[in-house]
Amino acid sequence: MSKYFKIAFDFAKKNQNALITFTSFASFVYLTRKYYFSGGRCTSKVGLDGKTVIITGANTGIGRETALDMARRGARVILACRDLDKALQTADDIRKESGNGNVFVEILDLASFESIRKFSSKINSQEDRIDILINNAGIMMCPKWKTKDGYEMQFGVNHLGHFLLTNLLLDKIKQSGPSRIINVSSRAHEKGKMNWDDLNSENSYEPQEAYRQSKLCNVLFTRELAKRLEGTNVSTHSLHPGVVRTELGRYFGETYGFKASIFKFLFYPIAMWFFKTPVEGAQTTIYCAVEENMSGLNGAYFSDCKPKQLLSHALNDNDARKLWYLSEKMTL
């Protein structure tokens, strides 16, 4: 042992400057990651006993951690997921981790209006109340795929699917007030543009632009929904969860091929240190769902557990109304 200690000591002595530089850099990365990139924390201790929470895409990532938090607060939690086997395993894990047996799974494929209608019909007939609806599921930068109803996949799942789901459950949500509808958007909406002449990407398709547009739709939908909920006991919020290590980017390789491989090899090992964990990424969703002091913030957009000012194009009421009208024509 002393021989190896001497070797290590001699190496450290000869490479003292390099070790100091490495240690300083590692400390900088750790502290930056911990105190800047990890984002805000939801500190509310409010309980959810007797409340029912529905979370889409809850079998992994942010959705899974949100569901676990809701279960720990005593809520009846419904995981609305497409992958039944994965969702059942997640529900079992959450029941064990939270000590809450009221965690259930229902099949929901947001790429199918038929599936959304079946899910909503079952929920409306079986559940006494819906206190919190969290529209969390999403797909990002996939190849040019279509939903079962013929819509571009990101626009169809990220926006139209949740638009239809929310409207089909809205009467039950209103009856359960005070209640909330949470839409998980992204900071990507800031660079999004509403391509009104080709909303469904029929003429051209660029994965990143389609994703940005779908996230802008989430914000516009939330703002118009808030206006339509005035006078009810229901509030709605949209949010940016942060850049999170989840399965959301699982289609990069299939979409971008060799370019994605280069990014993954050269940049991802470094970039991942600055990504949020799923637990950290879920904090703003949880905050919007349970924070009690939300007066005057109906329709607001949040990031790191704080309201954030939207850019002008996301505040365009005419675009929000137009999107609602077109979404109704496409879904209802």
Domain definitions of the chain by residue range: 48-331
Helix boundaries (H) for the chain: 2-14, 16-32, 61-72, 84-98, 113-126, 153-154, 162-175, 207-228, 252-256, 258-266, 268-271, 278-281, 283-290, 317-331
Active site residue 211: yes
CA dihedral 243, 249, 250, 253 (to 10 degrees): -130
Rounded Cα gap, residues 36 and 287, in angstroms: 18
Please tell me the pTM assigned to this model: 0.85
**One-letter amino acid for residue 144 of the chain:** K
In the prediction, which pLDDT does 244 show?
72
In the prediction, which pLDDT does 28 show?
46
Rounded Cα gap, residues 276 and 22, in angstroms: 23
Neighbours of 287 (CB within 10 A): 22
Using an 8 Å Cβ cutoff, are 77 and 51 in contact? no
Q: Give kind and range of the element (H or E) at residue 307.
A: strand 306-307
**One-letter amino acid for residue 292 of the chain:** E
Q: Which residue has the tokens 């999107």?
A: 323
Higher pLDDT, 264 or 56: 56
- pLDDT at 56 exceeding the cut of 50: yes
Using an 8 Å Cβ cutoff, are 248 and 138 in contact? yes
Per cent of the chain over pLDDT 90 is 78
Using an 8 Å Cβ cutoff, are 237 and 289 in contact? no
In the prediction, which pLDDT does 247 show?
54
* Residues 105-136: tens digit of each pLDDT: 999 999 999 999 999 999 999 999 999 999 99
* Residues 282-326: tens digit of each pLDDT: 999 999 999 999 999 999 999 999 999 999 999 999 999 999 999
Of 211, 251, 287, 301, which residue is the catalytic one? Answer: 211
Rounded Cα gap, residues 209 and 242, in angstroms: 19
- pLDDT at 19 exceeding the cut of 70: no
- Order of all β-strands in the sheet with 52-56: 103-107, 76-81, 52-56, 132-135, 179-184, 234-240, 301-303, 306-307
DSSP state of 66: H
CB neighbour list of residue 323: distance below 8 Å, 6 or more residues apart: 194, 217, 220, 221, 224
Mean pLDDT value across residues 27-38: 47
In the prediction, which pLDDT does 3 show?
55
CA-closest candidate to residue 166, choices 221, 101, 211: 221
Neighbours of 133 (CB within 10 A): 30
Rounded Cα gap, residues 332 and 328, in angstroms: 5
In the prediction, which pLDDT does 149 show?
99
- pLDDT at 89 exceeding the cut of 50: yes
- pLDDT at 263 exceeding the cut of 60: no
CATH value of 48-331 in 3.40.50.720, 3.40.718.10, 1.20.1250.20, 3.30.1330.20: 3.40.50.720
Tokens at 296, concatenated: 């005057």
- pLDDT at 10 exceeding the cut of 70: no
* Residues 122-181: tens digit of each pLDDT: 999 999 999 999 999 999 999 999 999 999 999 999 999 999 999 999 999 999 999 999
* Residues 214-226: tens digit of each pLDDT: 999 999 999 999 9
DSSP state of 139: -
Tokens at 61, concatenated: 């990532």
